[in-house]
Structure 1
Amino acid sequence: MNLIDLYNPLGAGYNPFLIGPLWQTAVLNYAPEESLERIEKLDVHHLTDELFVLLEGQAVLIAARIDADGVVDYDLRNMQPGTAYNIRCGVWHKIAMMPGSRVLIVENANTHLGDFEFYDLTPSEREELCRRVIACRTQSDR
Structure 2
Amino acid sequence: MQEIHIAVQEEEFDQNAIYHWLSASHSVGATVIFVGKVRDLNLGDGVSSLYLEHYPAMTEKALRDIVTRAKQRWDIQRVAVIHRVGLLNTGDEIVLVGVSSAHRGEAYRANEFIMDYLKLKAPFWKKEQTDKGGRWVEARKSDEVALEKW
Which range, TM-score by smaller chain? Answer: under 0.3
The structure that is helix-richer by fraction is 2
**TM-score, normalization: structure 1?**
0.27
The TM-score normalised by the length of structure 2 is 0.26
